[in-house]
């Protein structure tokens, strides 16, 4: 029977070098808190229990991650990584295996962690190490003549000869939980930092005859941590480069792979083209042949095949039908569903509305809480007046209606099929199908009227 996996994520550090009141692990990478990236990787290992140890920032971490169905435990005093894991021991199940992760090391992959878990299930201590060209600041891995790991020494406690070693301890470790309990009880803080180092269990494992099985990540970036805004920015750019490369390998054309930001998941069909400085958040689906102009933002959007989105367009929680054209400078807000071959032009805002096939809203208009039929033409400056100061009301524009420029539709109101509204109309009652409806003041000319002139100063 496979032993259950339980994961402890250490996330209690203050992050002094971040120079922020926000707990370090809540600073965002690609739009999500650092620790959320770690949680996503951890979940892919299917743990029976996932515990987060928090400290600085009080309840900010549990509050932010309240929807993650996690177990939280507080480390009131930060006395080292060993002390942090001690706080979680009451939550761990005897007979399981425990994997320790770090909330400020966001890019670790589950494929890299798997061998550690397998080693622990075989009764060994699984340890992730990496060879660094510049290992300053990291604990060094000491091996005997047979190549076996004998202990870890922290950089501040290392001798000059030990500091010359390039193999370092990443801190990622897995072990049988029963063994962990015993090793934690024997930890002491006889070191330069007066802290309880979790890494001291390596020497204890050796002393107890427990085999240490090491493995290394495929890429060094997996084990890079964040301790400052500089490191956060560097990791952000690295992450975006990885995302851009993945899109390129899928066949997406990126006009400049260095100028794209993905803060979620992007799924693309064939022959998708993305221009510079576009931002993708949440889940974005782009169908075959979609073209996206520069400086667009798409958030939780499903875009069908053949859509063209011109520059500076924002689409948020919406769906766009095949062959539609949007922008430049369009804003498509949550709850909007655009049918096939819909045209939405410059400085048009649409919110919580359905626009059916072949309709056009090309200039300077606001359409909110509306149902727009097919082949409707909405002229420049049209406004659906959907809010009465307390409640929202719906506008219905049926198929093949023509809405003249500078028209206000005071909801709730319906424009019948094939109706025409004359330019400048303020519609407060339903417009009948197939008829021309308009409301205008009579045009008059005031003979002899003179425009006021500005009085000289001092008069």
Domain with residue 414: its CATH number is 2.160.10.10
On whether the CB atoms of residues 351 and 336 are closer than 8 A, the answer is yes
449 part of a folded domain: no
Residue 459: per-residue pLDDT? 66
Same structural domain, 128 and 166: yes
Most confident of 47-61, 240-254, 431-445: 240-254
Q: Of the candidates 181, 205, 223, which is a domain's last residue?
A: 223
The span from the CA of 185 to the CA of 258, in Å, is 49
Q: pLDDT averaged over the chain?
A: 95
451 part of a folded domain: no
Strands 5-11, 97-102: pairing kind: parallel
Residues 6 or more apart whose CB falls under 8 angstroms from that of 22 comprise: 57, 60
On whether the CB atoms of residues 293 and 311 are closer than 8 A, the answer is yes
Residue 441: per-residue pLDDT? 84
The residue assigned the tokens 């427990």 is 210
- Nearest partner of 410 among 437, 380, 385, judged by Cα: 385
Same structural domain, 420 and 292: yes
65 part of a folded domain: yes
Could you say which DSSP state residue 375 is in? T
On whether the CB atoms of residues 266 and 286 are closer than 8 A, the answer is yes
CA 374 and chain centroid, separation: 35
Q: Over 70: is that where the pLDDT of 229 sits?
A: yes
- Nearest partner of 226 among 440, 74, 22, 52, judged by Cα: 22
pLDDT tens, 370-417? 999 999 999 999 999 999 999 999 999 999 999 999 999 999 999 999
Same structural domain, 102 and 122: yes
For the chain, what percent of residues have pLDDT higher than 70? 100
Phi, psi angles (nearest 5°) of residue 245: -65, -40
240 part of a folded domain: yes
Residues 6 or more apart whose CB falls under 8 angstroms from that of 304 comprise: 287, 319, 320, 321, 322, 323, 324, 340
pLDDT band at 325 (very low <50, low <70, confident <90, very high): very high
On whether the CB atoms of residues 128 and 224 are closer than 8 A, the answer is no
Q: Which residue has the higher pLDDT, 332 or 76?
A: 332
Most confident of 15-19, 49-53, 199-203: 49-53
Token pair for 435: 């008829």
On whether the CB atoms of residues 416 and 398 are closer than 8 A, the answer is yes
Q: Over 80: is that where the pLDDT of 458 sits?
A: no
Could you say which DSSP state residue 305 is in? T
The span from the CA of 459 to the CA of 455, in Å, is 7
On whether the CB atoms of residues 333 and 361 are closer than 8 A, the answer is no
Read off the pLDDT of each residue in 133-145 and give the average, rounded to a whole number: 91
Q: Over 70: is that where the pLDDT of 438 sits?
A: yes
Q: Which residues are designated catalytic?
A: 363
Token pair for 456: 């000289």
CA 365 and chain centroid, separation: 31
412 prior amide bond cis, ω within 30: yes
Read off the pLDDT of each residue in 56-83 and give the average, rounded to a whole number: 89
Question: 18-22, 350-354, 383-387, 398-402 — which is least confidently predicted?
Answer: 18-22
Residue 69: per-residue pLDDT? 80
Please tell me the total count of domains within the chain. Answer: 2
Residue 348: per-residue pLDDT? 98
447 part of a folded domain: no
Residue 68: per-residue pLDDT? 76
Local structure of 165: helix, strand or coil? coil
Same structural domain, 95 and 237: no
Token pair for 77: 């005093």
Read off the pLDDT of each residue in 419-424 and give the average, rounded to a whole number: 96
The span from the CA of 232 to the CA of 217, in Å, is 20
Same structural domain, 284 and 166: no
Same structural domain, 182 and 218: yes
Same structural domain, 274 and 239: yes
Same structural domain, 262 and 325: yes
HSE at residue 426, side-chain half, CA atoms within 13 A, is 3
Same structural domain, 212 and 234: no
pLDDT tens, 188-213? 988 777 889 898 999 999 999 999 99
Burial class (CB in 10 A: 0-12, 13-18, 19+), 402: middle
Same structural domain, 92 and 172: yes
Produce one character per residue of 196-220: b if its CB has 16 or more CB atoms within 10 Å, e if not. Answer: bbbbbbbbbbbeeebebbbbbbeee
457 part of a folded domain: no
442 part of a folded domain: no
The span from the CA of 175 to the CA of 5, in Å, is 10
The span from the CA of 63 to the CA of 57, in Å, is 11
Q: Of the candidates 181, 202, 223, which is a domain's last residue?
A: 223
Q: Of the candidates 223, 254, 289, which is a domain's last residue?
A: 223
Read off the pLDDT of each residue in 181-186 and give the average, rounded to a whole number: 96
Residue 84: per-residue pLDDT? 95
Same structural domain, 110 and 203: yes
The residue assigned the tokens 């039929």 is 373
Q: Over 80: is that where the pLDDT of 174 sits?
A: yes
45 part of a folded domain: yes
Phi, psi angles (nearest 5°) of residue 437: -120, 135
Token pair for 119: 């080693």
Residue 67: per-residue pLDDT? 78
Domain with residue 210: its CATH number is 3.90.550.10
Residues 6 or more apart whose CB falls under 8 angstroms from that of 360 comprise: 342, 343, 345, 376, 377, 378
Same structural domain, 260 and 194: no
pTM score, whole prediction? 0.89
For the chain, what percent of residues have pLDDT higher than 90? 87
Q: Which domain holds residue 161?
A: 5-223
């Amino acid at each position: 029977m496979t032993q259950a996996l339980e994961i402890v994520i250490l996330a209690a550090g203050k992050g002094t070098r971040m120079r922020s009141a926000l707990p370090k692990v809540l600073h965002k990478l690609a739009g999500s808190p650092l620790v959320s990236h770690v949680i996503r990787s951890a979940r892919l290992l299917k743990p029976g229990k996932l515990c987060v140890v928090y400290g600085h920032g009080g309840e900010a971490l549990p509050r932010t991650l309240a929807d993650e169905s996690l177990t939280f435990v507080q480390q009131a005093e930060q006395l080292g990584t060993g002390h942090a894991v001690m706080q979680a021991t009451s939550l761990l199940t005897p007979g399981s295996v425990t994997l320790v992760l770090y909330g400020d090391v966001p890019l670790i992959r589950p494929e890299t962690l798997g061998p550690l878990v397998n080693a622990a299930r075989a009764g060994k201590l699984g340890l992730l190490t990496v060879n660094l060209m510049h290992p300053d600041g990291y604990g060094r891995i000491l091996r005997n003549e047979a190549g076996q790991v004998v202990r870890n020494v922290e950089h501040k406690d290392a001798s000059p000869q030990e500091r010359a070693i390039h193999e370092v301890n990443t801190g990622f470790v897995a072990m049988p939980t029963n063994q962990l309990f015993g090793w934690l009880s024997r930890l002491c803080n006889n070191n330069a930092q007066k802290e309880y180092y979790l890494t001291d269990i390596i020497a204890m494992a050796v002393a107890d005859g427990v085999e240490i099985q090491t493995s290394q990540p495929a890429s060094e970036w997996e084990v890079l941590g964040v301790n400052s805004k500089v490191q956060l920015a560097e990791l952000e750019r690295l992450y975006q480069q990885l995302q851009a490369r993945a899109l390129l390998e899928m066949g997406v054309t990126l006009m400049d792979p260095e100028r794209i930001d993905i803060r979620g998941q992007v799924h693309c069909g064939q022959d998708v083209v993305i221009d510079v400085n576009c931002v993708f958040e949440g889940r974005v689906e782009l169908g075959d042949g979609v073209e996206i102009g520069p400086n667009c933002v798409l958030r939780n959007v499903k875009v069908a095949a053949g859509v063209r989105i011109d520059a500076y367009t924002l689409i948020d929680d919406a769906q766009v039908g095949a062959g539609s054209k949007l922008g430049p400078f369009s804003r498509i807000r949550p709850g909007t569903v655009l049918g096939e071959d819909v045209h939405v032009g410059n400085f048009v805002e649409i919110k919580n509305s359905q626009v059916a096939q072949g309709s056009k809203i090309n200039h300077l208009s606001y359409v909110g809480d509306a149902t727009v039929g097919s082949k409707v033409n909405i002229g420049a400056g049209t406004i659906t007046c959907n809010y009465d100061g307390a409640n929202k009301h719906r506008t219905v524009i049926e198929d093949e209606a023509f809405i003249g420029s500078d028209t206000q539709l005071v909801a709730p109101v319906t424009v019948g099929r094939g109706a025409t509204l004359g330019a400048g109309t303020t519609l407060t009652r339903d417009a009948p199908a197939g008829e021309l409806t308009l409301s205008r003041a009579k045009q008059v000319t005031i003979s002899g009227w003179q425009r006021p002139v500005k009085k000289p100063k001092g008069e």
